[in-house]
Amino acid sequence: MSETTVQPSADLRALDRLVGAWTVTGGAEGTVRYEWMPGRFFLLQHVELTQFGQPVTGLEVIGNLRPFGEPAGADVVSRFYDSTGNTLDYVYELDGDTVTIWGGAKGSPAYYRGTFNADGTVVTGEWVYPGGGGYRSTMTRI
C-alpha cells in the first residue's frame, strides 16, 4: 500500500464525536478540548483540570501507532503529557455510545467507561481504579 492511500482507522475516526470543547465535572473539574491534527491521524486533547485539589494541565495525543516502516497498530492508543512531567498511556475503545479508556493496556483494571447521551452533548461515566477508588465524571459540550 502506498503512503498516499493510507487512511486513519475507522476506530480512530469514530472518536470524531469528541471533537470540541467540554466542561468536566465530578472527581476532576475544568475543561478539555479535542481537535484533529492535520491529516486526522491524531486526535489531540488539551486538558485544563483540577483533580484532588491539584491543577492538571496537559496534552494527549490519540491515534494508531505506526512505527517507521511498519503498518499501523490495531488499537487506538494515546500518551498524555502533563505539566508536572508525567507521561500516561491509554487505549481508547468506542462501542456504540460507550467509550472506554483503559489506563495502560487494553483490559487493564484501571479504566474509564462513559456513555454519550442521545444527542452527543453529554458523556457520563466513572473512572475505576484497582483496589477501589475512582470517581464519577461528566463531560458537557460547551
- What is the per-residue pLDDT across 92-140, written as a single tens digit (0 to 9) for each? 999 999 999 999 999 999 999 999 999 999 999 999 999 888 999 999 9
pLDDT of residue 133: 84
pLDDT at 1 over 70: no
Question: pLDDT per residue over 42-90, tens digit each?
Answer: 999 999 999 989 999 999 999 999 999 999 999 999 999 999 999 999 9
Phi, psi dihedral angles at 126 (to 5 degrees) = -150, 140
* Residue corresponding to grid cell 464519577: 136
How many Å apart are CA 17 and CA 97, to the nearest integer?
10
Per-domain residue ranges for the chain? Answer: 10-141
Q: What is the residue type of 28? A: A
How many Å apart are CA 101 and CA 99, to the nearest integer?
7
pLDDT of residue 38: 97
How many Å apart are CA 46 and CA 107, to the nearest integer?
25
The CATH homologous superfamily for domain 10-141 is: Calycin beta-barrel core domain (2.40.128.20)
How many Å apart are CA 2 and CA 126, to the nearest integer?
41
pLDDT of residue 4: 58
Burial of 96-128, coded b for 16+ CB within 10 Å and e otherwise, reads eeebbbbbeeeeeebbbebebeeeeebbebebb
Q: What is the pTM of this model?
A: 0.93
